Structure 1
Amino acid sequence: MRTLDALSRRLSLGVAVCGLLFWLLPLREVAADDVLIEDFEAESYGEWTITGDAFGPQPAKGTHPNQQAVVGFRGTGLVNTFRAGDPSIGSATSPEFEISRKYVGMLIGGGARIEETAVELLVEGTVVRKMAGDDSEELEWKNWDVSPWLGKQAQIRIVDQGTGSWGHLNVDHLIQSDKRPTRFDLEYRLSEYRKSTDYLAEPLRPQVHFSPEIHWMNDPNGLVFHQGEYHLFYQYNPAGNTWGHMSWGHAVSPDLVHWEHLPLAIPEEDGVMIFSGCCVVDHDNTAGLGTKDDPAMVAVYTGHGHGKQVQNLAYSTDRGRTWTKYAGNPVLDINSSAFRDPKVFWHAPSQEWKMVVSLADEKVLVFYGSSDLLQWNELSRFGPAGVVSKSNWECPDLFELPVENGSEETLWVLEADMGSGAIAGGSGGEYFVGKYDGVRFSPIQDSQWVDHGRDFYAPVSWSDLPEEDGRRIWIGWFNNWETCLVPTFPWRSCMSIPRELSLRRIPTAADASQSAVVLVQRPVRELEALRQGGEQIDTSAIGWPPQSVTTQGQIAELSFDLEMTLEPGESRSCGVRIRTGEGEFIEVGYDREPGVVYVDRTHSGNVDFHPGFAGRHAAPTRLQDGTVTLRVVVDRSTIEVFINDGEAVISDRVFPTSQQAVLEVFGGGPTAKISKMQLWPLKSIWMDRD
């Protein structure tokens, strides 16, 4: 009993001490809920005082006639003073309210001339704060620190006295908050989209290719493997579905197939966009941004703003979940407006970091070296070289690859992309095969096309793959700058299938006794985990006109993996049509006279959104023992054709009006046949979450 009494006294004393310590600890400030001033969702302005003709009798419902698209407002209503065009003027003044939070925030767009178009804060009748737009129809969060006037009576006045260009304002969702609103309304947009019944399931959204949940995406960036995760960063507009406000989006995957969307990684800030770049793991802590036991992920990217492009760093010590911009940025500045897209890797023979980066307008690639990622020395330059008609050079990559056929030979691949002038029109990439000694790259043959379709751009390879994996894997933007405004919403663009790379010697077309080294690209083996079932297709009905070899409904989803062997014989052509409607099909075939495999998307569905979209895209192809092997990955609005085990690739976007497909086979003569055709439906990476 004495023991229990003593224990009870100790417990009571412990509770008392803990209670005392609790009251002595500093209390964490808890932010109060936001206070809505006005959301403009009513059918009138209510108690607001309106003057002039710019505001109209009620809030606008979006874009006015003859106005660029207004985006970024919440709900259906907003203030839009373009009601009668820029010449219209007026004001709107709110009823009084008490300032009860640290910040007043709002979504605002429109004109930037604050003396003509402005939102004003009046405290006890005096203007104490002003705010304007950025000459853009995209509404973004802006805010005032109003803590000096806590407890005071205030009003909001929206003033439009501008009559020239950008003489109007767009305003929505005025709030008081103890938390400073971030610039982009991304979290709200995502939360609304995630409630949608179409979440990641729109008819044209690829189901085995990565795409952002919402908004615009372009080049892949910062590909790195770290602590069991494949990281994919990418050029992203957090404000809308067209290019702009370039920031780094972020996703991770355990297997290169299933992707988890993560919050915005590195945002545009202070007038500097976050252009393309790379990411490495600094295992030896050469930059001093982490430790050897807990190495930092270091992003090396182009900062685009204030009239020039410079190379900056950001780093993360929590597996890429949060990022800190390096205080000593920029780490490389040559006072150029076209100096971008660094790719950095560790070069073991010289025990040094290497960078290849583009002088885009000069069509020159520059090589640098560094011991610590912070100080860089120029080593050499390459170019101009390769395709003469290109408009620029950007997004380079440099890596070593094995040459197939059992040898231990390795060579280096230098890849760079052009905004126009590519093989199929518009943007595309070229690569050189050669040798690299840590200082300079020396090609051993002319450049070759990375992809013969229109829609594969800015591929970049993963850094820090485990040594036991042994693969070089890259991914590309599945789009073309010329036709990039593809007809999808609320997202735009996707990535290619990740591809495993190697080199292969093949006979040249001009002289079979001579060989050339080509880049081989294959879908990563992990894709096969998405295959369901598997069905041999009887192609004995091949002929002309094309003959159906599947029935309506047999292919339930336009997302499948198809392997086939074409044997043209003496015929001009043979192949397959993927028919999605009357007069609507994608044709993939071999054409003997030019000696090519081609994808023809002329009749593939919606081809009218851009005059350059429809067309046929071909890759030179060799017959091997009279055959051509094809692997065709179709995914709702994408098609990738891997020819002869990856010796050439054609990547094209397509926008069919139906997701129900029938396969047809065709041959241009009696000797043509398809000796093998096997079809696997593919499971969705978005719905297959187990």
Structure 2
Amino acid sequence: MILVLLLVLLAAVPVVAQDVIIADFEGDSYSGWAIEGSAFGTRPARGESLGFLGYRGGGVANSFATSDEDVGSLTSAEFQIAQRYIVMLVGGGKQANGQRENQAAVELLVDGRAIRTATGDNSETLRWHSWDVAGLKGQSAQIRIFDNASGEWGHICVDHILQSESPRAGTGVWRIEEYRSSADYFQEPFRPGFHFTPELNWMNDPNGLTYFGGEYHLFYQHNPLGNVWGHMSWGHAVSKDMFHWEHLPIAMYEENGVMVYSGSCIIDHNNTSGFGTGDEPPMIAIYTGHSDERETQDIAYSNDRGRTWTKYGENPVIDLGKKDFRDPKVFWHPPSQKWCMVVSLAREKRLQFYASPDLKNWSLLSEFGPAGVRSKSNWECPDLFELPIENEPGHTRWVLEADMGNGAVAGGSGGEYFTGMFDGQTFRADSTDSKWVDYGRDFYAPVTYSNLPRDDGRRVWVGWMNNWSTALNPTYPWRSAMSVPRELSLRRIGDQLRLCQRPVASIESLRKEPMLISNMEIEDGDTTLSARGQQLDLMLVIDPGTARRFGVRVLKGDHEQTEIGYDMATESLSVDRTQSGNVKFHQDFSGKHAGPLGLDPNGQVRLRLLVDRCSVEVFGGEGETVLTDLIFPSASSDRIELFAEGGRATVVDGQVFQLDASMGPNANP
């Protein structure tokens, strides 16, 4: 009886057909697909090298072979429609229907005619699309993926095309709880070991750096919904030493169509704002509220050391009715006993200075600019701070830093600075000609810490380690890193006052036992060191001898290397990343970047290099010349090589430290 009943029940269960794969792009070629044009290359791309989210397996069909300008198509072999749905993952540009001449899409062809179409959504997150083809069962069809588009978002990415009896919905984005418990947590290719990165998704400018209650706070521009720019909110982390970071919940989200753009954070010790409710002073965030219509300056406050935030009910506190008015940096000015703000009119390339007694009511003081690089596209993310001049007791200067989205020294985005005086009302520059903050391509929007203890005496900043022109770098499931925190000083070099940057001393806690070098001669050629690794701190003093060029190559593999070189003829320090690994994900990525650096008083070159899997930060001399560059080498590229060209050089003194990780499950205590 039981057997009969079981057979009856089994007979009543509908048989659900298994999904049938049309294409998953996991092979080394587009076998079975007809290729036209150059957009899709000659074989599937690897999803991890593109920085896409939501793909399955490793391979994808991607029309960004070299740039958004490429056009072409892929057309499948004929197949018979056998199930109710055809489903697929699609990302890339969102194209309007009826604009085929400038469209990138995937379509279903029956008798050569397109009867279903899907496009991306201006996102590098692949989302499921489902076509109901129940009325077409039994007919022959083809899939065509094409890219006739050029310019921004002129590409498409497709993966996992299936026949199925069930439609699909949603995306393949990690949830934070799932990610933290996964074996992949902070173990992905290119994930830095001691630089701050978000756990998931997009990050850009550092925001609101402040020290309070024994914690260094790092807020940052963050998209909680994807691995591309958008939905700007403030991510949040805290640390005791600026290297071992604890990720906290998002501090402030985009709400009601208003994104939370960049800004600063202060500790209101005297409760001038009136927001404080307990024994400790409130933390106040001053940020730009961005909507489609305008940008305003808004404030929010916290009475629990930044764990929860309340946006001020009478925001905005400054509203000029302008679209490009952003990135306030606020600080207390003791001589005038008021809060001061520097903020940018980005498209006008002007900076404005405001003052307030209570952080709510602001008065315009003065303006600065246009100045510096005249060809820049915009001016944003300013900072203003006072520094002592080394070896000149009692003498100080103010430093005004601001960043441009394009036109910087190494191409793309970057920062410039001015020295001068600020009296609480007006900034008067020593010269309207600026100096470069960093000669590499990947240091942007640095901001200094506020509220460091008086007996600390340091001025420290952190920058976004990326470039707007090549920002979609090949990392997944996160994108972007922060620079190491850098201590700042001013030093007179020749007749110039130069900003010097040095890694903060707490990085030394990550060092392992060093390889020591003393008076090592480098003949014309190269010398491989016994030390190796992808997380390194190298300190070298090199006597040029008779060499024309000399330096060090790191992250070296059979066909990869990143070269840090010094050229005697031009007295310049350079980073060459043309052979550094994956340089083809963007046409502007590969290159060599250089900055001026003189010999020290002993006729030698002093170098400090920080290497962390996907980046090099190079500090020349006393830190007056800095180059920051991203790189994407293979995991096996870990050798170190010294080189000389045209003669013999000598490493007079050197230390090579491997560094422990400070982030993720492998972090040192």
Instruction: Tell me the TM-score range normalised by the shorter chain.
Output: 0.7 to 0.9
Give, in whole Å, the separation in 1 of the partners of 2:124 and 2:242.
37
Residue 310 (str. 1) matches residue 296 (str. 2): yes
Paired residues for 1:638-653 under 5 Å: 638-653=615-630
Mapped to 2, the partners of 1:275 and 1:326 lie a distance apart of: 16
How far 1:580 moved relative to its partner? 2.3
Where do residues 356-505 of structure 1 align in structure 2 (5 Å cutoff)? 356-445=342-431, 446-505=433-492
User: Is 1:60 matched with 2:39?
Assistant: no
Q: Distance in 2 between matches of 1:281 and 1:491?
A: 31
After superposition, what is the alpha-carbon deviation per residue over 1:632-679, rounded to whole angstroms, capped at 9, x for unaligned?
A: 000000100111121111100011113442221112233422212210
Which protein shows a greater Rg? 1
Post-superposition offset of 1:293: 2.5
Q: Mark the CA change 1:619 to 1:171 in structure 2 (over 3 Å): closer, same or farther.
A: farther
Equivalent residue letter for 2:509: A
Residues 1:431 and 1:678: Cα distance change in structure 2 (over 3 Å): same
Runs in 1 of length 4+ with deviation above 4 angstroms?
A: 41-44, 66-69, 81-90, 134-140, 170-174
CA contact (8 A) 1:390 1:422 kept: yes
**Does 2:648 align with 1:662?**
no
Partner of 1:5: none
Q: Hey, what does 1:519 align to over in structure 2?
A: 499
Distance of 1:82 and 1:547 partners within structure 2: 52
Q: Is it true that 1:603 corresponds to 2:579 in the alignment? A: yes
Aligned residue for 1:290? 276
Q: 1:229 and 2:206 equivalent? A: no
- Pick aligned residue for 1:220 from 187, 198, 206: 206
CA distance 1:273–1:379, change in 2 (3 Å): same
Paired residue secondary structure (1:380): strand
Aligned 8 A contact 1:68 1:137 in 2 = no
Residue type of the alignment partner of 2:361: Q
- Structure with more relative contact order (C-alpha pairs < 8 Å, separation 6 or more): 2
Cα separation, 2, equivalents of 1:193 and 1:312:
33
Which position in structure 2 is the counterpart of 1:678? 655
For the aligned residue pairs, the C-alpha RMSD in angstroms reads 3.2
Is the Cα contact below 8 Å between 1:390 and 1:421 reproduced in 2? yes
State the shift of 1:195 in Å: 2.4
Q: 1:337 is matched with which residue: 308, 323, 327?
A: 323
Alpha-carbon spacing, 1:487–1:89, altered in 2? closer, same or farther (3 Å): closer
- Indicate the SS of the match to 2:348: coil
In the alignment, residue 521 of structure 1 is paired with which amino acid?
Answer: Q
- 1:303 counterpart letter in structure 2: G
* Percent identity (aligned): 52
Go from structure 1 to structure 2 and tell me whether the alpha carbon gap of 1:171 and 1:423 turns closer, same or farther (over 3 Å shift).
farther
SS at match of 2:335: helix
SS in structure 2 at match of 1:193 = helix
CA deviation string 1:292-317 (max 9, x = no partner): 73221111111110311011111111
Q: Deviations over 1:309-336 (max 9, x none)?
A: 0111111111111111110011100000
Aligned match for 1:630, one of 607, 612, 624: 607
**Contact map agreement 2:377 2:407 (CA 8 A) in 1:** yes
Aligned twin of 1:533 = 513
User: In the superposition, relative to structure 1, how do residues 88 and 279 fare at CA in structure 2: closer, same or farther (>3 Å)?
Assistant: farther
**Match in the other structure for 2:524:** 544
Report matched runs for 1:165-244 at 5 Å: 189-244=175-230
Letter in 2 for 1:566: I
Q: Residue 63 of structure 1 aligns to which amino acid in structure 2?
A: V
CA distance in 2, matches of 1:325, 1:55: 55
Return closer, same or farther for 1:567/1:67 CA change in 2, 3 Å cut-off: closer
For 1:688, give the aligned amino acid.
A
Please give the secondary structure, in 2, of the residue aligned with 1:652: strand
Aligned counterpart in structure 1 of residue 556 of structure 2, from 563, 567, 580: 580
Cα distance in 2 for partners of 1:185, 1:290 equals: 42
Deviates more, 1:433-442 or 1:532-541: 532-541
- Partner of 2:234, secondary structure, is strand
Shift of 1:464: 0.7
- Helix, strand or coil: the match of 2:371? coil
Deviation at residue 63 of structure 1 after TM alignment = 2.4
What's the counterpart of residue 106 of structure 1?
A: none
One-letter amino acid matched to 2:403:
D
Q: Is the 8 A contact 1:559 1:634 kept in 2?
A: yes
Change (3 A) 1:42 1:198: farther
- The answer for the alignment partner of 1:688 in structure 2 is 667
Measure how far apart 1:356 and its partner are.
0.3
Matches of 1:297 and 1:486, distance apart in 2: 34
Write out per-residue CA displacement over residues 398-436 of structure 1, whole angstroms, 9 at most, x where no aligned residue.
Answer: 000010015121110000000000001100000000000
Structure 1 position 547, deviation (Å): 2.2
Paired residues for 1:260-279 under 5 Å: 260-279=246-265
Query: CA 1:67/1:339 → structure 2, altered by over 3 Å: closer, same or farther?
Result: closer
Q: 1:323 aligns with which of 268, 293, 309?
A: 309
Taking the aligned partners of 1:223 and 1:518, their CA distance within structure 2 comes to 24
Q: Is the 8 Å Cα contact of residues 110 and 135 (structure 1) preserved in structure 2?
A: no
> Is the Cα–Cα contact under 8 Å of residues 266 and 451 in structure 2 kept in the other structure?
yes
Cα displacement string for residues 521-559 of structure 1 (whole angstroms, at most 9, x for unaligned residues):
000000011111111146735123222122xxx42x300
Corresponding residue SS for 2:175: helix
The alpha-carbon distance between structure 1 residues 306 and 587, as it changes in their structure 2 partners (threshold 3 A), is closer
* TM-score calculated relative to the size of structure 1: 0.74
Shift in CA distance, 525/393, structure 1 to aligned 2, threshold 3 Å: same
After TM superposition, give the deviation of residue 254 of structure 1 in Å: 0.8
Whether contact under 8 Å (1:203, 1:659) holds in the other structure is no
Judge conservation of contact 1:110–1:137 (CA < 8 Å) in 2: no
CA deviations on 1:71-97 (whole Å, 9 max, x unpaired) are xxxxxxxxxx9874998689xxxxxxx
Pair 1:185–1:312, CA change in 2 (3 A) = farther
- Three-state SS of the structure 2 residue aligned to 1:334 is coil
Tell me the CA shift for residue 56 of structure 1.
6.9
CA change 1:293–1:56 in 2 (3 A) is farther
Instruction: Tell me, yes or no, if the aligned pair for 1:309 and 1:333 is still in contact at 8 Å.
Output: yes
Q: TM-score, normalised by structure 2?
A: 0.76
CA gap of 1:381–1:87, structure 2 versus 1, over 3 A, is: farther
Counterpart residue identity of residue 463, structure 1: S
Question: Which residue number in structure 2 is paired with residue 561 of structure 1?
Answer: 537
Structure 1 residues 68 and 547, CA, compared in 2 at 3 Å: closer, same or farther?
farther
Deviations 1:78-126 (A, max 9, x none): xxx9874998689xxxxxxxxxxxxxxxxxx999xxxxxxxxxxxxxxx
Question: 1 CA distance for matches of 2:244 and 2:17?
Answer: 43
Picking from 588, 595, 599, the partner of 1:619 is: 595
Answer yes or no: is the 8 Å Cα contact 1:591–1:597 preserved in 2.
yes
Opposite residue 562 of structure 1, the aligned amino acid is L
* Aligned 8 A contact 1:474 1:499 in 2: yes
Secondary structure of 2:520 counterpart: coil
Please state whether the residue corresponding to 1:482 is helix, strand or coil: helix
Answer whether contact 1:360 1:394 (CA < 8 A) is retained: yes
Decide whether the 8 Å contact of 2:462 with 2:484 is kept in 1: yes
